[in-house]
Amino acid sequence: MTKYIFVTGGVTSSLGKGIIAASLAKLLQARGYKVTIQKFDPYINIDPGTLNPYEHGECYVTEDGAETDLDLGHYERFLNVPTSQANNVTTGRIYQHVIQQEREGAYLGKTVQVIPHITDEIKRRMQLLGESNEYDIIITELGGTVGDIESLPFVEAVRQLRWELGANNSLVIHLTLVPYLAAAGELKTKPTQHSVKTLLEYGVQPDILVCRTEHKLSQEIRKKLAQFCNVNINAVVESIDASTIYDVPLLMLKENLDKTALTKLKLSSKNEPDLENWKNFLGKLKNPTNDVNIALVGKYVELPDAYKSITEGFIHAGATNECKVKVSYIAAESVTKENVAEKLKGMDGVLVAPGFGERGLDGKLNAIKYVRENNIPFFGICLGMQCSVIEFGRNVLGLKDANSFEMDANTSNPVINLMEEQKNITNMGGTMRLGAYDCEIKKGTKAFAIYGKTKISERHRHRYEFNNDYLKQYEAAGMIASGFNPETGLVEIVELKNHPFFVAGQFHPELKSTVANPHPLFVSFVAAALANKKSK
């Protein structure tokens, strides 16, 4: 029987529920359990696909094309197991389903209400992944903070589900903040007491408290938290600030979070967790023998969460190369023809990021021209790839108004065009080219040297594509298409023949980089940046 762990958050948001959930899952997986994690978000958007990255950070895309919360990225990076549509559910999705049922007459004239209809649908969704019996344990992270009006139906669903599942088949972990008052020189337990009281008002008694803190929890503080929140003292888990999120599984192991959870679920903790590969990775991450400077040129740079998976991709690739990757986030809008050399000074490699819309386009083109002409390693992702095509069109092929249809629908040279399948789409949500598609790589190209094979699959999230009417012209001038979709002929990868490293993909390799499998494009790009640095 599948067992369920629910993770709620108290006191404030941004405590890192996703990292705690992923760390616990990692430990359970390392002990031989089959685990997955799902996230329930209490907002009305059907999915985060239509959200500006400034709202909740990047939109993570799964193999099956779900546009999801960025925490799913952490789940995949930690567990190295793909997630799916079912792993991220929002209030909007729940209501959409219930309202559709109501329109179809499925409720047979009954009044449709939050309880039981919305909570029933939440419970159904919470158990969907358990139906296949594929998992021993399903961890469900509830977005938001306990006490929020919008979280209420989810907490109520957890209460009901716990009762239905019966004793020892579920547990609730409450992630909370234990703030340090510098003036008093003390850690404070009151906010946690209040947030647990709120949970109790809703009928949910947490089994384990994970306490985010900047200072170690003394025995006395642990006892106080245990006593006032009705939990066992060994169920008070310290989660102290870590220098990297990849330390958190080991910190949780030290605090016995996994053992405590397993005991409460009446599951064996006989098998010691096998974390050898994880520790190897950490060893390399923390003992780099070199460093490189990479510029990330993008339009959402004020909020690093907007590029979460890219940042993590560099961490994985850095560890593989035993090299610290220092990423400088450069606002695309600020890069001009005049200051580009200054802006990119000291950079060993440049990445142009994914994105939407015209803001920052010129800055991206200026950066690309500079790295192309100065043999600086370049890596383009999605819009970054499209920009490299526009730049080459304008400055090498002399197509002065070369552009993407997205930026200028009237250009006489739409070198990036709207995909045929996109032409009649009017709805914005969930209608891009999404999820995994096959790509065939040409032998003898840089892409082939990087992947070491001809058949790959990568994840997508875009509407526009390379316009194949221009392919001959591009290839004759030295920008070649080294990867294609085998069914549609869409260009997936472009690269420059006479450049040390100029590779750009229409897809998002960052979404597939994990601790266990750092992405080859990131690994090779970091290696190229390192080689560039050494040659200086």
Instruction: List active site positions.
Output: 382, 508, 510
Burial of 55 per CB tally in 10 Å (0-12, 13-18, 19+) = middle
**From the CB of 48, what's the least distance to ligand GLN, in Å?**
14
Distance CA 61, CA 121 (A): 24
Strand 60-61 and strand 67-68: the pairing is: antiparallel
Give 124's contacts (C-beta < 8 A, 6+ positions apart).
none
Q: Is 122 or 387 the residue whose CB approaches ligand GLN more closely? A: 387
Question: In the block, which residue shows the tokens 């997936």?
Answer: 492
**From the CB of 53, what's the least distance to ligand GLN, in Å?**
10
Q: Do residues 175 and 229 make contact, with C-beta atoms less than 8 angstroms apart?
A: no
How far, CA to CA in Å, does 458 sit from each of 174, 356, 493, 506? Answer: 36, 20, 11, 9
Say which DSSP state 116 is in: I
Q: Is 37 or 368 the residue whose CB approaches ligand GLN more closely? A: 368
**From the CB of 403, what's the least distance to ligand GLN, in Å?**
12
Question: In the block, which residue shows the tokens 């197509």?
Answer: 399
Distance CA 275, CA 132 (A): 27
326-354: b or e for each residue (b if 16 or more CB lie within 10 Å)? ebebbbbeebeeeebeebbeebbbbbbbb
Question: In the block, which residue shows the tokens 């790509």?
Answer: 439
Q: Is 319 or 383 the residue whose CB approaches ligand GLN more closely? A: 383
Q: Is 94 or 330 the residue whose CB approaches ligand GLN more closely? A: 330
Structure tokens at 284: 């390399």
Q: Is 6 or 300 the residue whose CB approaches ligand GLN more closely? A: 300
Q: Is 79 or 351 the residue whose CB approaches ligand GLN more closely? A: 351
Distance CA 474, CA 397 (A): 8
**From the CB of 488, what's the least distance to ligand GLN, in Å?**
15
**From the CB of 263, what's the least distance to ligand GLN, in Å?**
44
Contacts with ligand GLN by CB under 6 A lie at 354-356, 382-383, 406, 461-464
Strand 137-142 and strand 3-9: the pairing is: parallel
**From the CB of 356, what's the least distance to ligand GLN, in Å?**
4
